Structure 1
Amino acid sequence: MTLDEALQAGRISVEEALTWFDSLPTVDLAFMTGTWKGSELQTGHPMDGMLGATGWYGKQFLDTERVHPLLFFTEDRAAVFPVDPRKWPSPEIRGPVGPHRAAVETGKFKARLRMTEYRGKLSATMIYDDWPTNDVFRKVDGSTVLGLMDSRGMATPYFFVLRRD
């Protein structure tokens, strides 16, 4: 199954997503540099639909030490801004994050990029500063990666796709 087929299907199983993830080549740190637009790959995970419904844009990697793990659209969707993962998700914020920009925006980088081993392969991984969470990346093509969020306490990984801006 190709990425486009998986996205058009709307949902694949966790097992299918893991098989696909494991079959993809790894990526190095330099490959991740830039701004990436995200979309969800739904597998029945409890987080499915949450990012899309809240105006998630994607991620930004300036270098290994300067990473914005969460970019969201402004209220008018004319721009994006970085969000502090400690402030979102929040029970006070329902729906799009953009109208709550003043409460969640950060000027600080909230993650780092490192090479880590996951499922037997060494690949670029985003490590959140304030959460026991890693996003591991595998290469779909020259401008697309499949991301897998692995977090302490999460029964299954959460999958997403990033396309280079």
Structure 2
Amino acid sequence: MVDVVGRLRELEAGAAKDGRVRREDVLELFDSLPPVRVEELAGTWRGNGIATGNPFDGLLERFGWYGKRFSGPEDAEPLLFRGKGDRVVSINPAFMPVGLMLGIADKLNSPVVAKLFRLLMPLMTTAKPRARLRMVEYRGVSSAAMVYDALPIHDPFRKVDDDTLLCAMDLRGLDAPFLFVLRRDAA
């Protein structure tokens, strides 16, 4: 049996070292992982992308992405960011123009744009859940996924271990998924 935690670490290290890894290698690992049930997701999760050449690689991290929070099937916060004083805040995804971002992702790699996002962040925060958790079939396996309320996005999850998920952001109009990892926040 392959050590999936070790394989995930290899892929993350390869992406950090060389700038990216082959999407096919990450998807091969994703496809080998077992499904996760909705009730296993409760809590706050820290996120990081895996660079595979996707237009979204590094984009969320540039703006201070923290991760996601799941309080129940009807109560998911899809976009947590670090706000003032290092406080974690929930952003309403309806304010994130993902279609536009997809077209100009390379131009968003700027300290000026990141600073502008930080200035506007208080106007985009929300105390309401903006997504739901559902069992969704993706790549032939039924597993828990986060379904956004206002955007054509769902994030299918696969279980690496009890505290680690490999995830695929499936967005209408995106040729290949944005791949990322969620790790349960111990705090």
Q: Using the alignment, how far apart are the partners of 2:152 and 2:160 within structure 1?
A: 26
Structure 1 counterpart of 2:45: 36
Amino acid across the alignment from 1:69: P
Instruction: Return the match for 1:47 from 48, 56, 64.
Output: 56
1:144 paired with 2:149, answer: no
1:75 paired with 2:94, answer: no
CA shift digits 1:55-84 (9 cap, x unpaired): 00000000000110000001332x100001
User: Does the CA contact (< 8 Å) of 1:36 and 1:59 recur in 2?
Assistant: yes
Runs of 4 or more off by more than 6 Å in structure 1?
90-93
1:13 paired with 2:22, answer: yes
Instruction: Return the match for 2:33 from 11, 24, 40.
Output: 24
User: Does the CA contact (< 8 Å) of 2:11 and 2:26 recur in 1?
Assistant: no
- TM-score normalised by the chain length of structure 1: 0.93
Structure 2 counterpart of 1:106: 126
* Pairwise CA RMSD: 1.8
Q: Using the alignment, how far apart are the partners of 2:65 and 2:153 within structure 1?
A: 18
Q: Using the alignment, how far apart are the partners of 2:31 and 2:156 within structure 1?
A: 11
Shift of 1:98: 3.8
For 1:155, what is the secondary structure of its paired residue?
coil
Shift of 1:3: 1.3
Q: Using the alignment, how far apart are the partners of 1:88 and 1:4 within structure 2?
A: 30
Q: Using the alignment, how far apart are the partners of 2:50 and 2:42 within structure 1?
A: 22
Which consecutive unaligned segments of at least 5 residues does structure 1 have? none
Larger radius of gyration: 2
Which consecutive unaligned segments of at least 5 residues does structure 2 have? 1-5, 102-107
